[in-house]
Chains A and B, each alone.
Chain A
Amino acid sequence: QKEVEQDPGPLSVPEGAIVSLNCTYSNSAFQYFMWYRQYSRKGPELLMYTYSSGNKEDGRFTAQVDKSSKYISLFIRDSQPSDSATYLCAVYTGTASKLTFGTGTRLQVTL
């Protein structure tokens, strides 16, 4: 079983749609959860960083963590063409220094 599973997409939505991106993880030792956005040939850019179960909101982005189900989500409201990118979930124990990434979901927001 992979440590982090993420649907690779691609996911295509019209501008203004609500986007839901999801990951599951297998190891309950993971305590920190991140979402990164990666544009083509660029480095991962940190979008959201959460520790506890529940929701965290930042502008149009909401990160949701359910530790009991080992399930993390990123919601994007009012999606824009500039949101077109690959979205990577990443998990972290907080005691070991290794960040484990999902495969990334490629999102295309169309006009």
Chain B
Amino acid sequence: EPEVTQTPSHQVTQMGQEVILRCVPISNHLYFYWYRQILGQKVEFLVSFYNNEISEKSEIFDDQFSVERPDGSNFTLKIRSTKLEDSAMYFCASSGGLDSPLHFGNGTRLTVT
């Protein structure tokens, strides 16, 4: 069964550094998402992306965050200057349509020290 893959599985970075989290969505999907889950808390929406542009973003997704689909297969989340509070699991998801369920990857655990 096709799946969403994310790399790396764990990223440790120092405060103020830039990180790029990578995702390969399911190949025929058109909608792409990033969610995050701080340890012990609920899964929170960050951003959705369709037709090479952001379609919706949450208040968490401030100017420090950006997303890109640099080629036909990858979808990336960049955090420009990481803060301690950015430490979380970051999940990529994709779906085939607005009325289709989201399929999630296994996440990247980001630790900011």
Q: Which of B6, B50, B91, B101 contacts A97 (CB 8 A)?
A: B50
| A49 contact from B101, B107, B109, Cβ within 8 A | B101
How many residues of chain B have a CB within 8 Å of chain A?
28
A–B complex contacts, Cβ < 8 Å, 27 sampled:
A32-B99, A34-B101, A34-B102, A36-B104, A41-B107, A42-B106, A42-B107, A43-B4, A43-B6, A43-B107, A44-B43, A44-B104, A46-B103, A46-B104, A90-B102, A94-B98, A96-B56, A97-B33, A97-B56, A98-B56, A99-B33, A99-B35, A99-B102, A101-B42, A103-B41, A104-B42, A104-B43
Minimum CB–CB distance from A28 to chain B (whole Å) comes to 17
Interface residues in chain A, defined as those with a beta carbon under 8 Å from any beta carbon in chain B: 32, 34, 36, 41-46, 49, 51, 88, 90, 94-104
